[in-house]
């Protein structure tokens, strides 16, 4: 019998426009040769212009989804995205805590780019207390890293400082993404618990189709870890995949707002 492809569990919200969340994660994993299983944490009504409404999935059902697929599929890595509140965070952490050693990518989605908040202050505390200690790598952008570190980030030096401090605090790697910086290059900082810091840099892709970039990147990192890549190599291949996706899709017009980062 043939072996199945590598398998990644994505724990995130559903995007009706399919640019981010579960849909973007699954599309990314599939494009990289894997198979995505899912636990849906929220259902959103959104398009390229923003989120028009959303509802959280009951935390018990989120946990049940994770338990079901983890018991029956050869999950090689997991990633989290939108977690709508402290109860959801605890439900996810309780299930993932039963799989010590499973590579886990935490994309700390605090809110949408268009301004819809998802994770409250109590949810952020639960994320720090319950989930980040289980992570292999956390992938915040500048605002998210600032919220986690308790100090705003306004420079690459500040990004490195936050990455170092968060990595030391939680005992995991931290990739602070530099998309919020200005300039012609995009620089991401990876800090690991052993004190190592690596910078990844590439030319910035000028495109309006940027919806879901964080989801695509974190899903691609999870795919690399599921394939057995070292973390730095998983980050490198994920950044390359995202850049190629942005380049491939920059001439496409999707709706009236920010189109999806097209992974293809």
Q: Enumerate the active-site residues.
A: 177, 210, 212-215
User: Computed over its alpha carbons, how large is the radius of gyration of the chain?
Assistant: 17
Give backbone dihedrals phi and psi of 210, rounded to 5 degrees, phi first: -120, 5
User: Cα(52)–Cα(29) distance, rounded to whole angstroms?
Assistant: 27
Residue from 52, 47, 51 nearest 258 by CA: 47
Neighbours of 155 (CB within 10 A): 10
Closest CA to 188 of 147, 140, 225: 140
DSSP letter at 134 equals G
Which run of H or E residues covers position 242?
Answer: helix 231-249
Q: How far apart are CA 98 and CA 78, in angstroms?
A: 13
Which phi and psi (to 5°) does residue 223 adopt?
-60, -45
> Which tokens sit at 81?
């995205």
Strands 75-82 and 50-56, bridge-based pairing: unpaired
Q: What does the longest C-alpha to C-alpha distance in the chain come to?
A: 54
What proportions of the chain, in percent to the nearest 5, are helix, strand and coil?
40, 25, 35
């Amino acid at each position: 019998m043939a072996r199945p492809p590598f398998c990644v569990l994505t724990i995130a919200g559903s995007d009706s426009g399919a640019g981010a969340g579960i849909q973007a994660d699954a599309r990314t994993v599939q494009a990289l040769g894997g198979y995505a299983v899912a636990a849906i944490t929220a259902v959103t009504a959104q398009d390229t212009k923003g989120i028009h409404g959303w509802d959280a999935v009951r935390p018990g059902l989120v946990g049940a989804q994770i338990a079901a697929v983890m018991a029956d599929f050869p999950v090689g890595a997991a990633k989290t995205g939108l977690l709508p509140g402290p109860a959801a965070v605890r439900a996810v952490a309780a299930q993932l805590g039963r799989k010590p050693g499973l590579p886990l990518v935490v994309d700390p989605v605090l809110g949408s780019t268009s301004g819809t908040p998802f994770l409250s202050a109590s949810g952020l505390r639960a994320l720090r207390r319950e989930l980040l200690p289980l992570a292999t790598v956390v992938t915040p952008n500048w605002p998210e890293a600032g919220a986690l570190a308790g100090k705003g980030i306004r420079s690459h030096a500040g990004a490195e400082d936050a990455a170092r401090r968060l990595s030391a605090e939680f005992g995991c790697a931290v990739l602070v993404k530099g998309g919020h910086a200005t300039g012609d290059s995009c620089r991401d900082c990876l800090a690991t618990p052993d004190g190592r810091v690596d910078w990844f840099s590439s030319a910035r892709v000028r495109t309006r189709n940027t919806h879901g970039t964080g989801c695509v990147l974190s899903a691609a990192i999870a795919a690399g870890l599921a394939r057995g890549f070292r973390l730095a190599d998983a980050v490198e291949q994920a950044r390359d995949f995202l850049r190629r996706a942005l380049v491939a899709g920059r001439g496409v017009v999707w709706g009236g707002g920010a189109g999806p980062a097209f992974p293809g």
